[in-house]
Amino acid sequence: MISLPADGESWGDRVMSEPIKYTLTERDALIIVDVQNDFCPGGALPVAEGDAVVAPLNGVMDKFSLVVATRDWHPPHHCSFRGEGGLWPPHCVQGTRGAEFHPELKVAGIHLEVRKGMDEGQEAYSGFEGEPSLADLLQSHEVERVFVGGLATDYCVKATVLDALRHGFQAVVLTDAIRAVDANPGDGEKALAEMQEAGAALATTEQIA
């Protein structure tokens, strides 16, 4: 059983108490999940401090031989929107500024892009539900382990990590490069516990050699 951090303890504190250095090979890939304007401060569905994930992700991008970025790419009447009976305000609508990557994200370091949520009747939180197939892309590059950061911890990051594990990839969650919606207090911490219980490792970008 994985316990949540004690009062005053963060997941980052717990990770750094037993630091492990990760030496990368060509069988490692970085997955950047939905670092888009609408999920950052000032966007239609902002995650608190969502833009804080940009710097740590930029800092490790060049260390990976493969960097894949996912992004929501919704039609105007997507099923996740409140007007269509969903949970969220309209966001990341195709062709809008909100759907663009954060302007400070180093897009030149991204090798491949996966777009998801393009079918107005499909939620598609996981990058593995996008197009082109993320699983096929990773397998074609003989990837065995993925490092995941982005937005948001308790939704698209969690779904992508859990699907990565289901597809047989090792998964490492970059805890300094994620932020949570926390629609209910503690959702982000619970998502981290769920990912760890499923077999994911927790690390920070500082642990990538």
Residues 38, 40, 92, 116: which is the catalytic one?
116
Domain of 29? 20-207
Please confirm, yes or no, whether 163 is among the known catalytic residues. Answer: no
108-130, pLDDT tens digit by residue?
999 999 999 999 999 999 999 99
- Residue 63 covered by a domain: yes
Measured distance CA(108)–CA(124) in Å, rounded: 26
Measured distance CA(150)–CA(34) in Å, rounded: 6
Give the total number of structural domains in the chain. Answer: 1
Which of the four pLDDT bands, split at 50, 70 and 90, describes residue 2? Answer: very low
Residues 38, 72, 154, 156: which is the catalytic one?
156
Beta strands in 6-103 (DSSP E): 28-33, 67-72
Residues 34, 51, 154, 163: which is the catalytic one?
34
138-185, pLDDT tens digit by residue?
999 999 999 999 999 999 999 999 999 999 999 999 999 999 999 999
- Residue 69 covered by a domain: yes
- Residue 13 covered by a domain: no
State the pLDDT at residue 26.
Answer: 97
Judge whether residue 3 has pLDDT over 70: no
Provide the 10 A C-beta neighbour count for residue 103.
11
Please confirm, yes or no, whether 34 is among the known catalytic residues. Answer: yes
CATH code of the domain in which 82 resides:
3.40.50.850
Q: Where are the alpha helices (DSSP H) in 22-172?
A: 54-61, 134-140, 158-166
